[in-house]
Every structure is written in structure tokens, then in C-alpha cells.
């Protein structure tokens, strides 16, 4: 029986620091129900988003620019219903938009428990952000970090970010996280909680490309097939891999990872003999999103395999987290052993 991989809802509320610096961190934070997010578009002016979740989801992936708008709104309304140690409070009068009534802000969303990482901190502070860096943001389709933007300006107070959306050049009806991108509209985000982690794309002028890099950990769509994209719909199922190498001509080599029982988000190589696979350039759509991770030494706790990975819980479906997760350690082995893809067994 497949686990229920419905939308994961996780958030933490990091403390804001006064000014950006050179350090970089990961993030598991989401947008709270009370964060104000304003879209600024030269064509349509400025305004507060007030769409409902159903309308938002219907617009997803119509165009990457509008996808990002939808993402911010979905995060504000639906993803974070929460907080970890109590429910989010409605905004006070000083945080309300002009003309907003008690009826607009009084409803307190239900609380949803966030799963914490066990050994490492996946959290952004203001020192994490720098101008001209590209960041991944959470996609409202299933809460995974596969939308991209480039930071243009950061307010000195840290209260807002001016960002330019990255639009995929590939006209696909499914989520796209790898390939060619171009600059889209510029928006103002008034929360750091929409950001997951920094990306390192290849940028040549106005041409941007995202390709998984050696040593990174990524999620693959388990059921993705180019010939049957019309069947590729949420809830998605995922497999997790470590990137062995990437080549723009040949594709990307990966090792499959399986979940280690007894831990929240620890993943190790799928078998004693590592299963590897070459994902060709025509199959890059299989990559769903990068998953921030830390390599573990094995000294963290009894039972932790040396050289395993702790994955950011905010980038892993909630059905695969925790000691009681239904997913088995062999789930990646089965996928890595499919007959329709090249498989190499490494000693």
C-alpha cells in the first residue's frame, strides 16, 4: 500500500539578523499565514494577492512567472497553518493592508506539526542572503523547492527582497527544475520563509541553465516518462539520489539512496553494492528538485551509517519522514534495477 504523499506543511520562524553577509546556509522554512507578500509587476502595478488555494493551483505551471506568484500565495494561505510551538496569530492592525477588516485576518489556520532534522540545522538567517544569488523557492504543487528566483535587492532592515523570477524555456505541462531558464518578472517578497536554499546555476549573460552538480542530492520523479507526461500528476512519488557526475552531452550519473530505518531523514546507498544509473539529457525532466543535505560521519548516533546523508526534511515528502515512515530501504533498489534504463553495479 502506497503512503499518502499529500502536501507536506512544515515551517520554522527564523530570527531576522540585521544585514546580509558572506555565509550560506540551508533552509526548511516556509511562509507563515501572517507574512505579507506583495507582487510588483510593471504591467499590472502593485497589489496584495487575494486568490484562493483552488484558483492558485489551477494556475500552476501556466507560466513560470505566474507560478511563482501562485507559490507565494499558496505558502501564505495554505502551507503554513502552524507554528511549531503554537498556532500562528492573526496580524495586528499595524500589519494589515489598508481597507483590510477583522473578517479578513481573524481566522487562525489549524496547526500542523513540523518534522525537525536530527543532526544538522537547515535554517536560513539574514546572513544567508546576498544580492545576485539564485535561490530555490517552495512550489505549492506539493511543497517541494523547485521554483527559482534571483535576488536583486535586500532591504537594510531585512524585511523585503526584490527578486527576478526564472522562467523555464522548456514548454512542459509538468514541473521543470533542470534545463534552460530566462529572466522573468521582478517581484517584491516580504518574507524570507519562501526561500529554501541557494542554487548555483550556470549563468552566461541572460542565459541560465540548471544542471545537478557532483556531490549534490536530488529527488527524482519515480513515475516520470517522457512518452506519458499527461499521466504525470500529483501526488508525486520520489526516489533520492547522489549526483556522481554531470555532463552536458551525456547526462547525469547518479547513485540511488534508500531511507535508513529509525531516523527522521537519514538516507544511505541503496545496497552494499552501489546502484548507479545514467540519466540521459532527454530524461532530465525526471529531476524534481535539489534536496539540501549533510554528509554524516557515523559518529552522530548508534546506527547512523558512515557516509550516509541527512536530507532536509522540508524537501522530503512528509510520508517518508520519521521513524515510522512506510517507505522501505529498498525502494530505490527497485527503481534503480528497472530493465528500461542502463544500470551499472559498482564494486
Q: Are the C-beta atoms of 249 and 235 separated by less than 8 Å?
A: no
Confidence class for position 173, pLDDT limits 50, 70, 90: low
Please check the confidence at residue 306 and state whether its pLDDT lies above 80.
yes
Please check the confidence at residue 222 and state whether its pLDDT lies above 60.
yes
What local confidence, expressed as pLDDT, does residue 65 receive? 45
Instruction: Quickly list DSSP for 50-98.
Output: ---HHHHHHHTTSSHHHHHHHHHHHIIIII----TTSPPPPPPGGGSPT
Among residues 203, 122, 126, which one has the least CA distance to residue 164? 203
What local confidence, expressed as pLDDT, does residue 274 receive? 62
Please check the confidence at residue 6 and state whether its pLDDT lies above 90.
no
87 burial class (0-12, 13-18, 19+ CB within 10 angstroms)?
middle
What local confidence, expressed as pLDDT, does residue 327 receive? 44
What local confidence, expressed as pLDDT, does residue 185 receive? 94
Q: Which of 139-143, 248-252, 275-279, 324-328 has the lowest mean pLDDT?
A: 324-328
Q: What is the mean pLDDT of the chain?
A: 70
CA distance 308 to 217: 11
What local confidence, expressed as pLDDT, does residue 59 receive? 45
Report CA torsion sign: 216, 217, 221, 227: positive
Q: What percent of the chain has a predicted confidence (pLDDT) above 70?
A: 58
What local confidence, expressed as pLDDT, does residue 190 receive? 87
Please check the confidence at residue 302 and state whether its pLDDT lies above 70.
yes
Report CA torsion sign: 63, 52, 85, 97: positive
Task: Give 131 or 32, the one with higher predicted confidence.
Answer: 131
What local confidence, expressed as pLDDT, does residue 214 receive? 96
What local confidence, expressed as pLDDT, does residue 12 receive? 46
pTM above 0.95, yes or no: no
pLDDT in tens, 113-129: 457 777 887 888 788 89
Please check the confidence at residue 73 and state whether its pLDDT lies above 70.
no
Q: Which of 52-56, 92-96, 161-165 has the lowest mean pLDDT?
A: 92-96
Please check the confidence at residue 291 and state whether its pLDDT lies above 90.
yes
What local confidence, expressed as pLDDT, does residue 259 receive? 92
The residues near 327 (Cβ < 8 Å, ≥ 6 apart) are: 3, 259, 319, 320
Task: Give 46 or 198, the one with higher predicted confidence.
Answer: 198
What local confidence, expressed as pLDDT, does residue 322 receive? 64
pLDDT in tens, 150-170: 999 999 888 899 999 999 987
Residue 199 host element (H or E) = strand 195-199
Amino acid at each position: 500500500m502506497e503512503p499518502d504523499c499529500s502536501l507536506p506543511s512544515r515551517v520554522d520562524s527564523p530570527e531576522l539578523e540585521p544585514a546580509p553577509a558572506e555565509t550560506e546556509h540551508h533552509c526548511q522554512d516556509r511562509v507563515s499565514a501572517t507574512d505579507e507578500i506583495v507582487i510588483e509587476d510593471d504591467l499590472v502595478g502593485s497589489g496584495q494577492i487575494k486568490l484562493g488555494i483552488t484558483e492558485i493551483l489551477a494556475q500552476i505551471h501556466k507560466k513560470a512567472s505566474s507560478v511563482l506568484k501562485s507559490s507565494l500565495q499558496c505558502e501564505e494561505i495554505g502551507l503554513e497553518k502552524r507554528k511549531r510551538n503554537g498556532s500562528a496569530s492573526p496580524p495586528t492592525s499595524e500589519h494589515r493592508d489598508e481597507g483590510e477588516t477583522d473578517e479578513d485576518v481573524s481566522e487562525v489556520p489549524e496547526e500542523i506539526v513540523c518534522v525537525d532534522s536530527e543532526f544538522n540545522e537547515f535554517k536560513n538567517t539574514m546572513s544567508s542572503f546576498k544580492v545576485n544569488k539564485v535561490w530555490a523557492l517552495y512550489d505549492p504543487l506539493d511543497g517541494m523547492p523547485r521554483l527559482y528566483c534571483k535576488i536583486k535587492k535586500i532591504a537594510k532592515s531585512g524585511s523585503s527582497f526584490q527578486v527576478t523570477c526564472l522562467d523555464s524555456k522548456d514548454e512542459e505541462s509538468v514541473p521543470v527544475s533542470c534545463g534552460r531558464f530566462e529572466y522573468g518578472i521582478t517581484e517584491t517578497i516580504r518574507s524570507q520563509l519562501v526561500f529554501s536554499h541557494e542554487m548555483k546555476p550556470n549563468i552566461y549573460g541572460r542565459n541560465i541553465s540548471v544542471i545537478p552538480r557532483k556531490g549534490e542530492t536530488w529527488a527524482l520523479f519515480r513515475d516520470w516518462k517522457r512518452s506519458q507526461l499527461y499521466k504525470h500528476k500529483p501526488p508525486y512519488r520520489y526516489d533520492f539520489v547522489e549526483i556522481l557526475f554531470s555532463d552536458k552531452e551525456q547526462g547525469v550519473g547518479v547513485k540511488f539512496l534508500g531511507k535508513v530505518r529509525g531516523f527522521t531523514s537519514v538516507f544511505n546507498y541503496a545496497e552494499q553494492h552501489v546502484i548507479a544509473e545514467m540519466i540521459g539529457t532527454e530524461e532530465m525532466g525526471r529531476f524534481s528538485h535539489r534536496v539540501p543535505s549533510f554528509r554524516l560521519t557515523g559518529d552522530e548516533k548508534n546506527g547512523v551509517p558512515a557516509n550516509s546523508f541527512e536530507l532536509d526534511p522540508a524537501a522530503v515528502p512528509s510520508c517518508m519522514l520519521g521513524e515510522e515512515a512506510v517507505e522501505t530501504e529498498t525502494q530505490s533498489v527497485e527503481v534503480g534495477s528497472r530493465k528500461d534504463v542502463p544500470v551499472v553495479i559498482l564494486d
